[in-house]
Every structure is written in structure tokens, then in C-alpha cells.
Amino acid sequence: MKNIPLSIPNVCGNEVKYVSETLADGWISAVGPYVSKFENAMKEYIGSNGAVAVASGSAALHLAYLEAGVGLGDVVLVPALTFIASVNPVAYLKAEPYFIDVDDTLCMDPVKLEAFLTNKCLFENGIVKIKENNKRVKAICVVDIFGNLADYERINEIASKYNLVVIEDAAEAVGSYQIKSDGTKQYAGTFTDYGCFSFNGNKIMSTGGGGMVFAKDTEHLEHIRFLSTQAKSNAWYFYHDEVGFNYRLSNTAAAIGVAQLENLENFVKQKHILYDTYKAIFEKNGIEMLSFRDNIRANKWFFSILWNEDNKLSRDELMAKLKERGIETRPVWGLINEQKPYQNCGHDDLERTYYYKNKIVNIPCSTNLTVEDAEYVANEIIKLKNGE
């Protein structure tokens, strides 16, 4: 029987060579040349002013929220349709999320964001407060779901009108970019005040576990670097004037990152080939695939079909039957506003969020998946749709 996983790492380049170097010379901790090699290579690739490699995407987000000034009692506007790691750092900082709907890109809807700020908040002396409970809104977190990009132009305009900091959770969008009107590219991670990547095992490029933070303001970025290594005010005598974290990426993981980045463009190409393969088959058979925004080069990290409730099989039955045929799929995440730690937090109208939550099935999309296997997956889905 086939065994087709949903999304696994593709270790096909210089990973073994670079990792062997770190093992041979003993530099396996965060001290070692590959950490800055990885940061510099990524900085060049996305065209940022710098980069801080950290132990996970969650750590990246924690540091970004902290540096953005999110703290006790603040509110952060976030989507409910995301992985919980987008939101957990808000709770680490004793702030709370407020959930805003997504649009058909699955990213935050700027129209609903603006309507919320205009109609349900008061804006006085540069401070936004929710009318209902007088809580202060400090920041917005926008998530590049499945490698898609939000309408950042609009979101940044709204944020600047309301004096809010924006964090881009670009964990899933490494390699996505927007083509600007002058033809230049702007990469995921650079759209807002802070950008965060994840190199977790299921991401388009992986370091096993790892992440990276970017910040528009270089001083903020350097402060994040400082906080990520235990905030050593004096590294010789071990003096610490602030509470820091042990969040640095190891040299060995960074070595994997350098090798993965060398192949990132090939990975994106393969994602596009696989996506097009699925799309061509599904289109002929009345199955809708989630598309990506126009005028961007999405990395197409995850592929989603929208399962119609009128189909003979329910979505859960479809996924169970695919499993029997050796195909791993998954539904989209449980909504964050329904998770126990966040059930009592406020939310706006989440109509699109619920619409997509009930329909999405993610299908195999690893960059080492062959076109033949993608065709097999698509055809099995069609057979099941037709009751075979």
C-alpha cells in the first residue's frame, strides 16, 4: 500500500556535508559560524536589514510581541484561523487576543479589521481602546496562511492610522513574495514592523526546529538578538539588566538551514508543479482548490481542497477513507477562539473563518512528492467523491 505523508522535510542538498563540519569541529551549540552564515544568507534572500536566528517560530513570535511592547492587560488583534503558536505568546506576555475574521486569502480581512477599529473602538491621544471593556489594543498579528499573503498595503495603512504595531507571522510563507508596481519583489517577513519565520519539520524549509525574527527597525532587531541570548549586559561578568531567554538556534541546526536555503527556490518550483498537477485534475472534476492571491509568488506551502458538504461523503469520512488508501490529510486547525485557554476572549464576526474551517482538507504537498503520487492522490479523492 502507498504511504504518502502530508508534509515532510526534503533533505537533498548539502545538509550532511555542513552538519558533518559542525560535528567534526565540535561547534554544535549556538556558538559557531553557521548561525551568522544562516542569518546573513536569509537576510540577503529576503532583502531585510538583518535577521536573528532562534530556536523556533514560537520563540520568534514571543520576542517580536515582547519587543513590540505587548504586555499586561493589552489586547492583540489576531485571526482565529491559525496555528495556536501565533497566539500563545500573547498569553505568555499576560495580554489577550481578540479575534478578527479572515478574507478569501485566509489572511486577516483588512475591511473587517478597519470596521472593528472604527466602530467598536475609541481612538484618543494615539491610543485605541475597545469600547465594550476599555481594554487597550496594542498590536495586530497577521498570519500568512499556507504561504499566502495578506493585503499588507491596506493593513499597514490602517495600523498607522490607529498607531498600532503589526507583526507578520510568516512562519508558513518563507520564500513568498509580492511583486510591487515597480517590478521589485517584497518578501514575506518584511511587510510589517516585525516578521517571524518557522523552520519546523513540516515547513517548506526546515532546520528540524528553528525560527527567525526580522524587524524594520535595526535597534529593535538588535535588542531581540540580545534578549534571545539571555540579555547579557556584560558577557564576561554575567551581568543581566533585563530578563532574557535561551532562544538561540544551534550551529548544527543553522548548518541545515544554510543547506535548505540553497534549495528553497527548487522547493518552491516543485510546490508549484504539484499544485498545478492537482488543480488540473480537480478542476475537471468539480473540486475547488484554495487559490493564492494574484500578483504574488506564493511559496504554496500547503494545498487545500474545499470539501463540499453536499458530497456523498462527509469531510471526516473522506479523510478516514484516504488514510485507508495510504494518504495522509488533515483538516484545518481547531479555531483559536474555541480552544480552552481562549474561549473567553473577545471576537468579531467570524463568518469567513467558520466557512473555511468546515470545508478545508489539506492534502499531501511535500517537496519530495512525485507528480505521479500527486495524480494518485487526486484520483483517489475523485473516486471517493464519486462513491467508488
Ligand X SMILES: Cc1ncc(COP(=O)(O)O)c(C=O)c1O
Task: Quote the CA–CA distance of 312 and 386 in Å, as a whole number.
Answer: 8
Task: Quote the CA–CA distance of 314 and 296 in Å, as a whole number.
Answer: 33
Contact 19, 384 (CB under 8 A): no
* Nearer residue to ligand X within complex by CB, 130 or 165: 165
User: What DSSP state is assigned to residue 229?
Assistant: B
Binding piece for ligand X, criterion CB under 6 A, among 50-58, 179-187, 233-241, 359-367: 50-58
CB of 6 to ligand X, least distance (A): 13
* Nearer residue to ligand X within complex by CB, 19 or 64: 64
Interaction of residue 56 with ligand X, rule CB under 6 A: yes
Interaction of residue 200 with ligand X, rule CB under 6 A: yes
β-strands 288-289, 121-124: how paired? unpaired
What do you get for the CA distance between the two ends of the chain, in Å?
A: 18
CB of 129 to ligand X, least distance (A): 27
Interaction of residue 270 with ligand X, rule CB under 6 A: no
> Could you identify the residue written with the cell 489577550?
96
Helix axes 33-46, 251-262, angle to 10 degrees: 30
CB of 284 to ligand X, least distance (A): 31
Q: Report the residue from 22, 35, 48, 57 that binds ligand X according to the rule CB under 6 A.
A: 57
Interaction of residue 304 with ligand X, rule CB under 6 A: no
Report the number of secondary-structure helices (H) and strands (E) in the chain.
Answer: 12, 16
Interaction of residue 346 with ligand X, rule CB under 6 A: no
User: Which cell goes with 147?
Assistant: 504561504
β-strands 75-79, 136-143: how paired? parallel
CB of 171 to ligand X, least distance (A): 3
Binding piece for ligand X, criterion CB under 6 A, among 30-38, 129-137, 168-176, 227-235: 168-176
Interaction of residue 85 with ligand X, rule CB under 6 A: yes
Binding piece for ligand X, criterion CB under 6 A, among 56-64, 104-112, 113-121, 315-323: 56-64
Interaction of residue 82 with ligand X, rule CB under 6 A: yes
> Could you identify the residue written with the cell 512562519?
171
Give the CB-nearest residue to ligand X. Answer: 57
Interaction of residue 97 with ligand X, rule CB under 6 A: no
User: What DSSP state is assigned to residue 193?
Assistant: S
Break the chain down into helix, strand, coil percent, rounded to 5.
40, 20, 45
Helix axes 218-228, 57-67, angle to 10 degrees: 120
Binding piece for ligand X, criterion CB under 6 A, among 17-25, 167-175, 230-238, 379-387: 167-175
Phi, psi of 195, deg, nearest 5: -130, 145
Q: Report the residue from 35, 46, 78, 171 that binds ligand X according to the rule CB under 6 A.
A: 171
Interaction of residue 58 with ligand X, rule CB under 6 A: yes
Question: Which residues of this chain interact with ligand X, rule CB under 6 A?
Answer: 56-58, 82-83, 85-86, 143, 169, 171-172, 198, 200, 211
